[in-house]
Amino acid sequence: MVETETKAASEREVWQVMTPQGVFDADLQTLKQWIVEGAVQPTDKVRKGGLKWIDAGRAPMLRRVFSGEETPAAHDPSPGVSQGAQSPPVAGAHTQTAAPAASFSPAHREQEFGGAKPLDSACHFHQFEEATLVCRGCQTTMCRACPKQVGTSSVFLCPVCGGFCDPLRPIVERQALYEFQGEGFSFADFAQALRYPFKHVASLVGGALLYGVLMLAGFRGQFIAWGLIYGCITLVIHRVACGKIDRDFMPDFGDFSVWDDVVRPAFLGLGVTLVTLGPVLLLAVALAYGWVGGVPRPQVPDLAQPRQALEQPDEADAPGGVASAEGEAARREAQQRALEQLQKQIEEQSAKARPQEEEGTMTTVARQLMAHPGLILLLALLSLAWAVFYHPMALLVAGWTESFKSTINPLVGLDTMRHMGINYFKAFLMYLAVQVAGFVIQVVVALVTAPFDLPLLGNLPGKFVGGVFTFYTSLVIACVLGLALFKSAYRFGIELD
């Protein structure tokens, strides 16, 4: 009897399943039925209660259903639990976008009373009062006066089922975030990225002015500006990808660190530059090497002296000479020294000639490359195409991983691109549009401020205004990339903060 009650209780526990269509609530039996119908795949994410998300195929209670060892019977959701399941996800529609389901009972949704708020945000017992709490079990929403309070603690119990109550606002915000994520990545997100920097006007104005001033402060100032811009880019990508879309994009200068806020972002920017312009730089080095001309051929060692010392006859062997034991020993000793000297010179000359021969091969390859202008043009176009197409992915990898090693590894970016699929190509088109618009603005600013160009100092107003626009467009690009990764989070198993 106890075992039966325990099994029934486990089947009534609320589960959540995350599919490309959105997040759905269901009890265990309903979830198993969805698996049989093909609406839930092994790669979809599930969790029970407040546990962490895992692949549905890895959940112990669901493995037998996926393998076909268990076939659940048709199940009618029980009141109080399965009402949170709502309508199931559409089978075979993992590539489509459907309206995500809400987290509350259908009886509490989409009903209004005389202009009052919908019941999912209104108290179940006082329909004209705003709900602030929700029951974990039956998901009844209620105002602060309705639940039972345990002594003087902050623990509240539902008057309907006696379950624990949680604050409603964080749950609604998380629900809205999941709904936004389930809408899929589209060009509507581009408009949101354009508005994103203006959500924090003070940070936008202050950061843009600071960046513009640093661009006028010589090499040191430009290095700090480099670190500032990449620090903001990586911060925006990481926060937006985790769902913190409303967070400020400026670093926390109250806990300022030169290494964390300047040096490390600058190195990430260097990694982005190396991985995107690497092929262009290698081609330029190869052409320069072939143009200048190679290295001299290895010289043949001068072995005349040692050879003469070996061939020169000793005076003791000359005609008319008298051979002596001492003369013979001296002659052999001299020959031995000459032989050792000869071997030493041969080894030294061989060691010098080996790298020279290798460099000669490199020179030959470079000159062969220069002999085919069409091949040079093709390689140059491919290198430039790589730099343009991969640059946003390099920014995304730098912002998400915050690792120099991962940033300069193109395999990490290509694998991320494979998982993102069409979302990356959409993000690339948005990135390209922002870059083209930024280039046009920079040209207009340079033409307008051309009369202020000063000797030795250059066009200071143009640099300042251009820096301000660069700061804004960089934030827009970072937000676009962060949103693209956020909308693809279910493919990577990224948890929302």
Residue whose token pair is 């759905």? 24
More confident residue, 180 or 357: 180
DSSP 261: I
- pTM, rounded to two decimals: 0.61
**What is the C-alpha to C-alpha distance for residues 109 and 99, in angstroms, rounded to an integer?**
15
Instruction: Tell me which of 29-38, 99-108, 157-166, 169-178 is least confident.
Output: 99-108
In 308-400, DSSP assigns E strands to: none
| Half-sphere exposure of residue 250: CA atoms within 13 angstroms, side-chain side | 21
Residue whose token pair is 């659940």? 72
Q: Is the confidence at residue 396, as pLDDT, over 50?
A: yes
Predicted pLDDT of residue 181 = 83
The neighbour count for residue 438, using CB atoms within 10 Å, is 18
The model's confidence at residue 41, banded by pLDDT at 50, 70 and 90, is: confident
Once rounded to an integer, what is the mean pLDDT over residues 246-257? 76
Element (H, E) at 419: helix 410-420
- 10 Å CB burial of residue 357 (0-12, 13-18, 19+) is exposed
What type of residue is 125?
F
User: Phi-psi bin for 496: left (phi > 0), alpha (psi -120 to 50), beta?
Assistant: beta
- CA dist 55 → 28, 96, 412 (Å): 15, 20, 22
The dihedral built from the CA positions of residue 331, 336, 339 and 344, taken in this order, carries a sign that is negative
Once rounded to an integer, what is the mean pLDDT over residues 309-318? 50
Q: Report the Cα–Cα distance between both ends of the chain, in Å, rounded.
A: 42
Dump pLDDT digits (tens) for 342-392. Answer: 777 777 766 665 554 445 565 666 666 677 778 888 888 999 999 999 999
More confident residue, 97 or 303: 303
**What is the C-alpha to C-alpha distance for residues 478 and 311, in angstroms, rounded to an integer?**
79
Token pair of 199 as six digits: 């959500």
Q: Which SS3 state, helix, strand or coil, does residue 25 take?
A: strand
| 418 in Cβ contact with 427 (< 8 Å) | no
Once rounded to an integer, what is the mean pLDDT over residues 292-318? 50
**What is the C-alpha to C-alpha distance for residues 426 and 241, in angstroms, rounded to an integer?**
16
More confident residue, 110 or 237: 237
Predicted pLDDT of residue 293 = 53
Residues making up the chain, counted from first to last: 497
What type of residue is 469?
F
Dump pLDDT digits (tens) for 419-431. Answer: 898 999 999 999 9
More confident residue, 296 or 451: 451
DSSP secondary structure letters along 150-187: -TTSS-EE-TTT--BEEEHHHHHHHHHHHHHHHT---T
More confident residue, 131 or 106: 131
Element (H, E) at 10: helix 2-12
**Nearest CA among 77, 84, 78, 79 for reference residue 139:** 84
The model's confidence at residue 312, banded by pLDDT at 50, 70 and 90, is: low
Residue whose token pair is 């895992």? 54
Predicted pLDDT of residue 388 = 93
Highest mean pLDDT among 109-123, 212-226, 294-308: 212-226
Once rounded to an integer, what is the mean pLDDT over residues 425-443? 93
| Half-sphere exposure of residue 31: CA atoms within 13 angstroms, side-chain side | 33
- CA dist 340 → 279, 333, 334, 489 (Å): 49, 11, 10, 71
The neighbour count for residue 309, using CB atoms within 10 Å, is 15
Once rounded to an integer, what is the mean pLDDT over residues 219-239? 87
Once rounded to an integer, what is the mean pLDDT over residues 480-489? 91
Dump pLDDT digits (tens) for 68-108. Answer: 777 776 655 444 443 344 455 655 544 433 333 333 333 33
